[in-house]
Amino acid sequence: MRLHNRTWRLVVLAMFTAIIFLMAFLPIPIGFIPLPHMRATTLHIPVIVGALLLGPKYGAFLGFMFGLVSLLTNSFTPGPIAFVFTPFVNLPGQNSGSWLSLIVVFVPRIFIGITPWLACEGLKKLFGGKYMHANWAISGVVGSLTNTLLVMHLIFIFFGEAWHGAGVRASETIYLAVLSVIGINGVPEAVVAGVAVAALMGALTVALGVKHGSTAS
């Protein structure tokens, strides 16, 4: 199979890396969609698909690329809460940013390239490689929720009060605001990721000559 050839893996890795950068920096906001208090994202989708096709090491690299474009976007076109994703934007009322933002911007995105592959492998062992479209859809949901849950909880741990004061309704407690974002942004993102990942994996496994249930490890 092509994806067990290192050269093919590197070609596909380069293709997905280019897709991440294009989605992030095209004039039309495909990768980062501005919302009142956050930016919704679709950049986790190529990371998840790349992880399922290439394996967790390559998936983690794609996740790092996602984190890098998020860092660049928030540094050069900062929104109200950009300080949680980049140390180059000052915290509210302070004269500097925080290097803890690098944990927020990179760690969850790296894990997006690992947890979907683990979910996929677990489901393949459980069902013997059957129901692969459902398997890919569940893996897409797992990857999307990995991003949302880790990002929001790390923001809560490191920047809770500053984030809460930067635009979230004052009537909400900090953690209730976190849960609100998870529900309002995270759940729809997860549903979209599940559908998109299943569709893309179905097409790409055929195009790349990968048998169902036998993606790279």
Q: What is the 3-state secondary structure (H, E, C) of 21-73?
A: HHHHHCCCCCCEEECCCCEEECCHHHHHHHHHHHCHHHHHHHHHHHHHHHHHH
* pTM (two decimals): 0.89
Task: pLDDT band for 33, please (50, 70, 90 cuts).
Answer: low
Contact 187, 147 (CB under 8 A): no
Tell me the per-residue pLDDT of 48-102, one tens digit each, with 9 for 90 and over: 999 999 999 999 999 999 999 999 999 998 888 899 999 999 998 889 999 999 9
Tell me the per-residue pLDDT of 171-204, one tens digit each, with 9 for 90 and over: 458 888 888 888 888 898 999 999 999 999 999 9
pLDDT score of 169 more than 70: no
Positive or negative, the CA dihedral 123, 125, 127, 129 is: positive
Q: Quote the pLDDT of residue 170.
A: 45
CATH architecture of 2-207: Orthogonal Bundle (1.10)
Q: Quote the pLDDT of residue 79.
A: 84
Bridge partner list, 39: 34
User: What are 159's two structure tokens?
Assistant: 């920047």
Per DSSP, the three-state class of 152 is: helix
Q: What is the mean pLDDT of residues 154-182?
A: 77
Task: Give the position of tokens 């897709």.
Answer: 19
Spans of all domains in the chain = 2-207
User: What are 35's two structure tokens?
Assistant: 């919302």
Contact 45, 53 (CB under 8 A): no
- For 106-141, give one letter per residue: b (16+ CB within 10 A) or e: bebbbbbbbbbbbbbbebbeeeeeebbeebbbbbbb
Rg (CA), the chain: 18
Q: Integer distance in angstroms from the first to the last C-alpha of the chain?
A: 12
Q: Quote the pLDDT of residue 212.
A: 56
